[in-house]
Amino acid sequence: MTTRGIPAFTRKVTDQAEALLKRIGGGSFHRWLRRQARRIRSMGRGAVIALPYAWLLAFFLIPFVIVLKIALAEADIAQPPYTPLWEWIEGQYLNVKINLGNFAFLIQDSLYWKAYLNSVKVALVSTLLCLLLGYPIAYGIARASPARRTILLMLVILPFWTSFLIRVYAWIGILKNNGLINNFLMWLGVIDSPIVMLQTDFAVYLGIVYSYLPFMILPLYANLEKLDETLLEAAYDLGCRPASAFLRVTLPLSVPGIIAGAMLVFIPAVGEFVIPALLGAPDTLMIGRILWDEFFGNRDWPVASAVAIALLLLLVIPIVILQHTQARNAEARS
């Protein structure tokens, strides 16, 4: 592909045809052909630019509109289990029925906002734990030799070769009362009775950190691997100790990788459903679990859709604010 967005062979054929017709038809036809060639090239660029927007339209905006339509409806014993948003009366009048009570219900019922707050807390703690564990790992991989670096990166992504659900189920066998950890500790004589680890907050945090740790390591590695080591050498020459050089040079330069990794961990962790359902206690309040119960337990699709819309706004608004702040800081530095 060329930088103009059309295949190279197409440009070559167009240029050859343009030169031939210039000799045949004269200058006016040559100018017309140049205009047509420019139009084709602009259409190619427009098609390339339109592809991502078409993807967002098909897989984000349209599903969002459908969920929003359901959130503005009322629950009904029907198939589908909600009332239509509009209907024709006697074939002449359009009756639009918009119900905002589902969103008000989320604020009035403490179950939902407590689930939101608990989901944000779990996601924040899990993101912080992933950062504390992932930063040294990413730093070590970035400073390793190229041969060892490939092997270490392979080990990081190796869990993705196994199903996510199977990996979570494996933790049940490890953490349960007669599981691997308790049996090993009792065999060593460290404990006399099993330690309750399954169906606790500890198990939820452990499962989330284990599952999303690679999403923290990989962006950090990509950032740290491009770090100019001459900056550290200059810091050492100026009298900085290794810890001071890390805090003054390496850590500030790795902030973009920290932000990218934090977003990749925090966003899916907020809406996590499988890990709290399998490893957490029955009363673990996570918004993903509430969403599942409303859809498939209570069959209250309008309230469940309102929960999904509120969750989306909860995630999108901070990201937009963060990107706006970063853009302003970049403009100020430039």
pLDDT at 2 over 60: no
- H, E, C per residue of the chain: CCCCCCCHHHHHHHHHHHHHHHHHHCHHHHHHHHHHHHHHHHHHHHHHHHHHHHHHHHHHHHHHHHHHHHHCCCECCCCCCECCCEEEECCCEEEECCCCHHHHHHHHCHHHHHHHHHHHHHHHHHHHHHHHHHHHHHHHHHHCCHHHHHHHHHHHHHHHHCCHHHHHHHHHHHHCCCCHHHHHHHHHCCCCCCCCCCCCHHHHHHHHHHHHHHHHHHHHHHHHHCCCHHHHHHHHHCCCCHHHHHHHHHHHHCHHHHHHHHHHHHHHHHCCCHHHHHHCCCCCCCHHHHHHHHHHHCCCHHHHHHHHHHHHHHHHHHHHHHHHHHHHHHHHHC
Asked if the model's pLDDT at residue 5 lies above 60, the reply is no
**pTM of this prediction?**
0.79
Residue % of the chain over a pLDDT of 70: 86
Check residue 13 and give its pLDDT: 54
pLDDT at 26: 52
Q: To which CATH superfamily is domain 109-299 assigned?
A: MetI-like (1.10.3720.10)
Residue 3 — pLDDT band, cuts 50, 70, 90?
Answer: very low
pLDDT attached to residue 27: 57
Distance CA 72, CA 301 (A): 10
Q: Read off the pLDDT of each residue in 306-316 and give the average, rounded to a whole number.
A: 87
* Residue-wise pLDDT tens digits, 195-208: 999 999 999 999 99
Q: Give me the percent of the chain exceeding a pLDDT of 90.
A: 39
The more confidently predicted of residues 210 and 54 is 210
Who has greater pLDDT, 332 or 130?
130
Q: Which token pair is 249? A: 């040079």
326 or 25, greater pLDDT? 326
Is residue 225's pLDDT more than 80? yes
Provide the token pair at 301. 């699709």
Residue type, 200: T
* pLDDT tens digit sequence for 165-184: 999 999 999 999 999 999 99
